Structure 1
């Protein structure tokens, strides 16, 4: 049986190992056959006290698997192209406070990541209702009520995101052989 939060640690450990074995730069294959040389930058971990203070001050619930991520890395940048940079950032606790400060109208939701014009959102109301699938995605300029359920928790999303080398796998089902060439 897999323990909640253990996938996060194994996923980060494996990614860091791949990076270390390759001079902190790895080559990934992206969509449509593109190859990129990328790097990842992990922030120092958040302490248990910082996590608890965040929850108390913000009145938000952090899921256990996400807390495990924060204890390893209080935010990170993933798959930044070594020449062109990137747009994948999982926010630190301070960034979550700063970037979500104006979202009082949809209480209980907060952005935790920015990925190529999308935000990954935790709905803490779902957590308080003991729902396991609390992660959502929305366009960067969309409101929280427009967020779409991902039907997963943080660590499943994170694991799949790393496996897909930073690709927005949650949108793959939108593209079919009939519409791909018109939409892309």
Structure 2
């Protein structure tokens, strides 16, 4: 496995275990979002070479052959690391030259993405050899005349970006305790001081879905119980009545689990039909026993696995 594939595989494992709550500089915290598109097409690679008459750096092309762009560590403010698809690289680079963002005297750049209110660039002249660092960055304002070198090629840049959770790691070394008043302000307004959200690590969580008595009643309700711990009874996290649509119920469960900002190693979901049916029209009895109630148990390796493949209702329900 090559370096790019190994780094992305490690990130995927982290996401699948639900470890997506991140913290960056200036107390930027939250549940990060990720997107990994399909590999780049041969047509896009051919279009790129035809447009710029130059091959891509090998590490960058290796990444595109795994994913044609990616969204990494995106918080609610939209900031994070965005790597464009190759088609968008072509479009953005052409537009940047037309709009003057790529200065005519500094026109040896491709625009390949964005990070922290700035553009991510590849220096095309440096990219002609693997021995010269070609990754650059600049603020959205201004032109490429002001581009700053990151001093890395794409593979190391990607790995360091993942370690830094989508932050501009190359600026960390520039912090000076003498020049930068990072933590202390004179008489800071109290409303500007935001305490961090509590993060709780939970080995496992148990979601129990009890089906209603009647299938025919249009306003029947599921009952959902969510417990912490392997035994499922240590502490009741929430209990509420779901709506008459199973999909809506599961969305509510998903939102409830993600909204608490917990880290779950394992999520177990148990669905059980009621042992009784209402069936007055067929039998005249107000209540009869369901002799073979359906049951289903599912296990998910972390919150992300649960969110990516939500459970379906038992047969006959909706």
Q: Which bin holds the TM-score, normalised by the shorter protein?
A: 0.7 to 0.9
SS at match of 1:71: helix
TM-score by length of 2: 0.51
- Bigger proportion of residues as strand: 2
1:93 to 71, 83, 86: 86
Separation (CA, whole Å) in 2 of partners of 1:180 and 1:16: 35
- Bigger proportion of residues as helix: 1
Separation (CA, whole Å) in 1 of partners of 2:3 and 2:17: 21
Structure 1 unaligned runs (5+)? none
Alpha-carbon shift at residue 84 of structure 1 (Å): 4.2
Asked whether 1:19 is paired with 2:15, we answer yes
Aligned residue-pair number:
177
1:62 to 56, 64, 89: 56
Separation (CA, whole Å) in 1 of partners of 2:52 and 2:161: 27
> Bigger radius of gyration, 1 or 2?
2
Partner of 2:72: 78
Alpha-carbon shift at residue 183 of structure 1 (Å): 9.8
Equivalent residue runs for 1:31-42 within 5 Å = 31-32=25-26, 34-42=28-36
- Greater relative contact order (Cα < 8 A, sep 6+): 1
TM-score by length of 1: 0.84
SS at match of 1:89: strand
Asked whether 1:153 is paired with 2:153, we answer yes
2:23 to 11, 16, 29: 29
2:4 to 1, 8, 16: 8
